[in-house]
């Protein structure tokens, strides 16, 4: 096994997914340079009340891209970059603990109110990891399965499970997500902002807006809803100082006020550190699809 890259170096070096053997789990047929009519519609869901209605919709020709910038999807990207083999997102603590009976060697990860889930919430079981990207180091997660539950991000992922494909995104893999969309466009694209509690999260708005900005030149003719225009405008207004913009947001203020978590924020905002797009399979398990040059069978 190669030695871990020092954080100060890795921060500026794009990373491909180390473990890409399980590509058969991909559900969206990705064909570079495929002939396509392009994306027909783009919707952005801003609050949990919207993504909770997704199971009622026909998503058979839809790709859902889920953002939980602070911090679930950012942390999942870190985990895959450091060699995690799979992440199974759970709706609540009880579900994840039940899965642990099936996968007893899997790591338990998650947070409530931003802090690692402790024995007082589980009946005595301490989780191995919280929801900080700095916890998911190579020595902790290499070739490990992870069972994870967070306040919003894992709920959003599960709500999308009926889609043709479900991908996770954050600033760290914006370029890889944009390339995958533009090279093999889905008919319908939904950007899902996980939010915070039951409200909008500004960091997810900025993340979705940043992806819209990357897609702008390749989505001519698509029906774009008002929420997509809104997130694009928000990103373009704040892109010169994202950290400053988030310092005024609810989640940004909270994390920056906690010395043990403040360093997570700039990590989650660093763009294009990773050249892969994790996808959720039809069993609700996230796995890494490798770089943009990979063709899925």
Q: What are 260-270's pLDDT values in tens digits?
A: 999 999 999 99
Residues 204, 48: Cα–Cα separation, whole Å: 12
How large is the average pLDDT for residues 136-164? 97
This prediction has a pTM of: 0.88
Residues 253, 244: Cα–Cα separation, whole Å: 10
Question: Across the chain, what does the average pLDDT equal?
Answer: 88
- pLDDT tens-digit map of 95-107: 999 999 999 999 9
Answer yes or no: is 81 within a domain: yes
Please list, residue by residue across 231-240, b when 16 or more beta carbons sit within 10 angstroms of its beta carbon and e when fewer do: bbebbeebee
Percent of the chain with pLDDT over 90: 80
Residues 263, 191: Cα–Cα separation, whole Å: 26
Answer yes or no: is 145 within a domain: yes
Report pLDDT for 248.
85
Percent of the chain with pLDDT over 70: 85
Answer yes or no: is 296 within a domain: no
CATH number for the domain spanning 166: value is 3.90.1560.10
Answer yes or no: is 1 within a domain: no
The domain tally of the chain equals 1
pLDDT band at 218; cut points 50, 70, 90: confident
Answer yes or no: is 292 within a domain: no
Task: Give one DSSP letter per residue of 191-254, joined into a string.
Answer: EEE--BTTB--HHHHHHHHHHHHHHGGG-TT-EE-HHHHHHHHHHHHHGGGHHHHHTTSHHHHH
Residue pair 127/148 in contact (Cβ under 8 Å)? The answer is no
Q: What's the CA angle centered on 136, arms 135 and 137, to 5 degrees?
A: 95
Answer yes or no: is 293 within a domain: no
Domain carrying residue 104: 7-29+39-287
Residue pair 76/114 in contact (Cβ under 8 Å)? The answer is no
- Is-cis flag, bond preceding 71, omega within 30? yes
């Amino acid at each position: 096994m190669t030695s871990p890259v020092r954080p100060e170096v890795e921060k500026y070096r794009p990373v491909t997914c180390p473990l890409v053997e399980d590509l058969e789990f991909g559900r969206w047929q990705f064909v570079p340079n495929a002939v396509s009519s392009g994306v027909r519609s783009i919707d952005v869901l801003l609050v949990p009340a919207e993504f909770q209605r997704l199971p009622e919709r026909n998503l058979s020709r839809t790709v859902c891209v889920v953002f939980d910038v602070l911090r679930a999807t950012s942390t999942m990207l870190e985990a895959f970059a450091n060699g995690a083999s799979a992440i199974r997102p759970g709706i609540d603590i009880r579900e994840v603990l039940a899965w642990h009976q099936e996968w007893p060697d899997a790591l338990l990860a998650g947070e409530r109110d931003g802090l690692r889930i402790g024995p007082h919430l589980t009946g005595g079981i301490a989780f191995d990891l919280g929801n900080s990207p700095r916890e998911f180091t190579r020595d902790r997660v290499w070739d490990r399965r992870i069972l994870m539950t967070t306040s919003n991000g894992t709920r959003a992922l599960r709500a999308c499970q009926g889609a043709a494909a479900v991908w996770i995104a954050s600033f760290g893999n914006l370029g890889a997500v944009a390339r995958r969309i533009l090279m093999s466009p889905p008919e319908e694209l939904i950007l899902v902002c996980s939010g915070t509690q039951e409200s909008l999260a500004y960091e997810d708005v900025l993340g979705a807006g940043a992806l819209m900005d990357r897609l702008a030149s390749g989505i001519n003719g698509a029906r774009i809803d008002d929420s997509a225009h809104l997130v694009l405008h928000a990103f373009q207004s704040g892109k010169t100082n994202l950290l400053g913009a988030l310092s005024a947001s609810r989640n940004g203020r909270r994390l920056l006020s906690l010395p043990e978590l403040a360093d997570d924020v700039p990590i989650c905002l660093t763009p294009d550190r990773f050249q892969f797009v994790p996808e959720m399979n039809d069993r609700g398990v996230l796995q890494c699809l490798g770089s943009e040059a990979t063709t899925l069978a």
